Amino acid sequence: MARYFLKVEEGLPLVGHLAFGIVDRGTNLLQIRPTSFCPLSCVFCSVDAGPRSTRRLTEFLVDHEYLVSWFVDVAKAKGLDKAHAYIDAVGDPLTYGRIIELVRLLSSTGVAESITIETHGALLTRELVDKLADAGLTRINLSVDALDPSLARTLAGTPWFDVNRVISVAEYIASSTDIDLLIAPVWVPGVNDSEIPRIIEWALRIGAGKRVPPLGIQKYEEHKYGRKPPGVKPMKWHEFYSKLEVWEKEYGVRLRIRPEDFGIRKARALPLAFRKGEKATVSVVYWGWLKGQWLGVARNRVITIVGVPGAPPIGRKVKVRMLRTRSNIYVARLEA
């Protein structure tokens, strides 16, 4: 588990980091990351989230008013009158204690074309769903990776995880609220293969996908800092899409979905503050997200400084060279 905690408030930029703030990938959708916490320790987690994390050093929590102000400013900087607000996390956004206020404030701006939350549903309840609907939530992307309770617990890496309760709330969302529901299982080959057809049948039966496709099946991928289930090898993309095509014909539903299905289109990207390879002076502000990292700030952007030993010299300026700048996510290494 992480050893440090940082509450992110006014003064610390909200663009530049993967674990918190605003992520822009050059479309009219902005990822909004209010927290990095997660109650689960999924065996396939791409970001090593949850209580069983072995790599995390710091967890983050962002002030909701500050986060919404950055959402509006980034949308305007991209030349957008409206942007899709996609609330996700390197964890689960339902761990965020001000999630209802965040949704309500996003809705009140007039800038959010839609508001979606991505979750595994461990903390989802009917009462919370009703409050989110009242606050203006448009859609929930719900990752249900197995309907079998035992396998669901195994995949979640969490003995208390109750998929039957998640199923019950999902059916309530589909039948009794205006919130749209997309079921988004992670297909882990050799582990939950037989569950994917069952999940497809269930999603169609309960009426998921009122205005968008009912399913968004995700392909398991290996990530450098993620968890890797023993013996599991990612499928090739052509194998994945070929099987989706077979299921499309069998169940009469489109599974090979596109950004356009959700109103997502390319849009001017937020200008980069640094070039890859550029040298810069950065103020160190805190411990980094993962072990061997510090958090720095320069040019109104957050920078992750990697490959550093020991405690961060908070308040000091250090010279770095930029290793990554893509999507305004900045990673740098100390320069001698």
Domains of the chain in sequence order: 4-262 (3.20.20.70), 279-334 (2.40.50.140)
Note the pLDDT tens digit of each residue in 202-241: 999 999 999 999 999 999 999 988 999 999 999 999 999 9
pLDDT at residue 2, rounded to an integer: 78
Q: Give the residue ranges of the chain where pLDDT is below 70.
A: 1
pTM reported for the whole predicted model:
0.96
Distances (CA, A) of 153 to 107, 146, 186, 283: 35, 9, 14, 43
What lies within 8 Å, CB to CB, of 223 at 6+ separation is 46, 47
pLDDT at residue 336, rounded to an integer: 75
pLDDT at residue 46, rounded to an integer: 95
pLDDT at residue 224, rounded to an integer: 87
pLDDT at residue 222, rounded to an integer: 94
Note the pLDDT tens digit of each residue in 139-156: 999 999 999 999 999 999
pLDDT at residue 268, rounded to an integer: 97
